[in-house]
Structure 1
């Protein structure tokens, strides 16, 4: 369902894509107690936004049957750029300045040293990989962290933003490699996750998790989560390789997305996964992150939801569920009614 008002707005304002929940302007939801229809509006002060309540309810309050979404014009120009930093701290500082300067990168992904090494290991040929590493070592980068960015818009807008972005990155000791790494990442971004299936068949455990936190806590939280996972897996005799990248930017902070590889603990795979998940989630909460940035709560993250949202909010959600779903048939056992422990 497309609103002409929303299309016309995109002609005059630069609106970055954002998350899907930020782009829902109206919806219709079916609940066991009847339909809920929320009109399309660009903004409202009529109390808390009920659109957000239903979009974030994970199906526990009803089924969204119709939604009006903000859309964006196909950009006339697209330009990628790629940088290597001496460490994760330098890269995150560059991203913070870029976001707070109003650049609003259309794609931004900063990999830590482990994820960068993992990506370089998959680079074309051994000769290419050695060439890139030699180039970086000559510039003092022994454990590089890769940042890829993309600018969308009109040709003049893209040129101006890219120029400003390059000035910022150079101040943070970034080494430029042009557009090729970003283009390569886009080409393989949807096929790389299928490596998980093969790794599982080869006896590996593969898990992902994500959080977000204020800029002031990014580097400490990154270290805390990595250390927590590594310690938990070493204690089980299955050391882990932990990868992390920043994938979403905000003026006040960013997301951290983790991928974990370890040898499966044969005969105790579920216990191993629970230990990994608990160690990561405990570290996230202790370090000031959110228990989930975009994967949602479901049952996996429910045990940590009270620590983040508080019991009062959970009781409010349960009261809302009792109103629209008195017999509790909508996605039972999720979100506010999820398990207390894994």
Structure 2
């Protein structure tokens, strides 16, 4: 499948998410759901801009920190659980200077309070008490506080590398202990760097569409979806969140599509388009596979419908501006 065919398929997927995944009991409800999805997409895309984080002000310092600690919470768990944790402990975690307190050292009082849901954390909402994530957050907060004594917040993320050098920035984040590969990319994406978050949803979709095999020379022909999570015959050789060969390919493919897609075509397809093609593409691929999310206006999981009855995923994209099923 050449690049223009991939663009057509993306346009088809985007349109189907907007038109079909927002179905309602009646036309009015459908419109409300579509408006809800549009507003969420545009707000997220507008926020994912490096320009928003260039200044060294208290507001920007707080915004960068919020992205950093919250992305750690999203790693490896359901979005709902992460969101609940962020809502419950944000009153404390949003201020990185709180973690300067030695009582956050492992085994000390505040550390125990968090893990045991006691003290200041005894009457908050539901949250996940993950010690590994907590320890990473504490160490990161202390490094961030030291950094801000003499430098701007965004350079803590970039390591003073140019914004275009995304893999140098990614390596820097890992060097300073910013958790793991995909979480670092998640942070970078939401700060406006030209990457997507190559999570298992997007990676699986690209795999099923044949794009990984097309893009990665020597990828075994008998690779399965299970291999992407280390549960197949190849063990850990092709795990989506640890092998750069896999997640870099996903990002490269996404960027090629986002750069090649005409903004005017995307606007014509559903009457609107964001100013952030890369972030928007990531959202629509994820929402194609998303479980029902009423706060996004999503009422159907299209990926399940697409593969119902053993149908191949690619055969689902057969609208008038996409490839015919037999292509």
Q: Determine if the TM-score, normalized by the shorter chain, exceeds 0.5.
A: no
Kindly indicate which of the two structures has a greater share of residues assigned to helix: 2
Higher relative contact order (CA 8 A, sep 6+): 2
Larger radius of gyration: 1
Q: Structure 1 length as normaliser, TM-score?
A: 0.23
Kindly indicate which of the two structures has a greater share of residues assigned to strand: 1
